[in-house]
Structure 1
């Protein structure tokens, strides 16, 4: 007789129960095949729905790319101010990771995650 295989969710639940591990967080990635296909817009729309349901949602980093429809999706979402640093003589705005950790929200939106982070002292 063949043993029935667990789904990934069932296996994770069983592992957490056996190891007494609490749910530490989740990563949700919005992927698209090209710039301008709606990744940021969709992420913000999803976050606004969470906010309306009472979740503590903040924007950790947002790159509007001058897209009016995307900027309008910001709605009432609070934003963690970026920090300004100078790297190689260029002034840059980077996500303030320490401020996010101190704020400890349920959900943090990070747009443009795949970029080179300048060194923050």
Structure 2
């Protein structure tokens, strides 16, 4: 961890790109906002990006500086995690950090990525990040009742409510299902399984309504 003496007096600002399911375009919107900020003169880096094997997302990130991730061994697997110290040392104005609710690999300084993001904010770095409605702690039972799935990666609601800005990234449920069928969210086998479980139109319509209501409550 960086020395406390290097901590900036001005806390960074947190902007969350908020959606109701995978594939709504949160990461794309975050990258677009980062590029717009850079064009206006801001110093912007990617602290962590999860492309999910989506070529369009990878292409969207082209031209933005990326702080290399650290790689950890876990049961023979190579896991990529944000290098929080490297981002702090780089000291950009804005860091783009995908997947706010992510659980870090064992042995990381923090168990959850939102704790890493809190460190960046303390050091005066603005953070753009992404999260879906099902990852909010207070909504886990409601989401489980609708989808039959208990989401294990969650964030406390106070992290969401203390954000300086929430941007709802929204598309209609039928359009999202079209994206699923076109292979723009998951590979074919995963897409078929998702369509039978989480990605039913009834589920998506209900989750979209919850996300819109939660965003309105926050505002």
**Class of the TM-score when normalised by the shorter of the 2 chains:** 0.7 to 0.9
Structure with the higher fraction of residues in helix conformation: 2
Tell me the TM-score normalized by structure 1: 0.77
- Tell me the residue number matched to 1:98: 85
- Tell me the residue number matched to 1:110: 97
What number of residue pairs does the alignment pair up? 100
Larger RCO: 1 or 2 (CA < 8 Å, sep 6+) = 2
Q: Is the CA contact (8 Å cut-off) linking 1:58 and 1:107 kept in structure 2?
A: yes
Tell me the TM-score normalized by structure 2: 0.43
- Runs of 5+ in structure 1 lacking a partner? 1-21
Secondary structure of 1:109's aligned partner: strand
Deviations 1:8-49 (A, max 9, x none): xxxxxxxxxxxxxx6411000011100000000000001000
- Counterparts in 2 of 1:1-121, with a 5 A limit? 23-118=10-105, 119-120=107-108
CA distance in 2 between partners of 1:63 and 1:91 (Å): 15
Moved over 2 A (4+): 87-90
- Runs of 5+ in structure 2 lacking a partner? 1-8, 110-219
- Tell me the residue number matched to 1:4: none
CA distance in 2 between partners of 1:105 and 1:25 (Å): 11
Deviation at 1:98, TM superposition (A): 0.5
